[in-house]
Structure formats: structure tokens, C-alpha cells
Amino acid sequence: VKWFVEEPGSTAACAILTSGEVLLAPDLVLVEVGNTAWKKVTRGEITQEQGEAMLRALPLYFDRLVHPDVLIARAYALAHRLAHPVYDCLYLALAEQEDVRLITDDQRLMKVVSRTEFRKRVRSLVSGTR
């Protein structure tokens, strides 16, 4: 959403697009952004047309979207281990599978992994720290 709507972290999010990094995510990201766009429309923060444009453009921002079927077992195990929702753990499972770091603005996830060996897999969007 930060790529499309000016909000805290938008500058850092947009910098990722020009960083040369390979961008990948579980395809769940489409649903999550769709839901956030819907909320923003219902709150009057964006128009329905802006939300539709976001959803058309979003897949083009990623080099690869990964179906959850290859991640779900590991995400489920991580969710139990970290006491954190499965849908968030899909992103961590993908980072682990691809041996990359997850860049996130999810402070709750950052806090959960900060006490574990997974802290090296996660980087804060805004601060760039682990």
C-alpha cells in the first residue's frame, strides 16, 4: 500500500522499487493489499478507482509471486513456534526458503522474531535494522 498511498514508510518502500533487489512475496499479498484498499475506500481515504488501479498495478511490482501451497506447512510450523498468525508467517517462510531477508513494516512481527534466531531474516522497512 505504501507504494501507492502516501503514509509513514512510503519513501522507504518506494526506494526498494529502485534498489535493484529482486522482489518476491506470497501471492497472499494481493489479497492483503486488496483488503487494505477496500478499507481505505470505505474510510474515504482513496477512491474506489484508486483502489482498483492499485490492484491492477501491484502484481507488476514483484519479480515473483509465490503460491502459498509451497509455504503453508512451514508457515504453520513457524506460527506455532512464534505464536504469530500463519498469514504473516508465510512471508517469513518464503524468506527462509529463498535465503533472503524479509523487509517489513509489521512491528509486531519484528518484535516476535527479535527474540529468536529468525531475527537475521527480518529487516525493518523504515529503520533498515533487524
As averages over each run of 10 residues, the pLDDT of the chain (130 residues) reads 89 90 95 97 98 97 97 98 97 97 93 93 76
Domain ranges of the chain: 1-63, 67-130
For position 130, what pLDDT does the model report?
46
The pLDDT of residue 65: 98
Q: What is the pLDDT of residue 128?
A: 55
What are 61-66's contacts with CB under 8 Å, separation 24+?
A: 61/3, 61/17, 61/23, 62/23, 62/24, 62/25, 62/29, 63/22, 63/23, 63/24, 64/22, 64/23, 64/24, 65/24, 65/25, 65/26, 65/27, 65/29, 65/30, 66/24, 66/25, 66/26, 66/27, 66/94
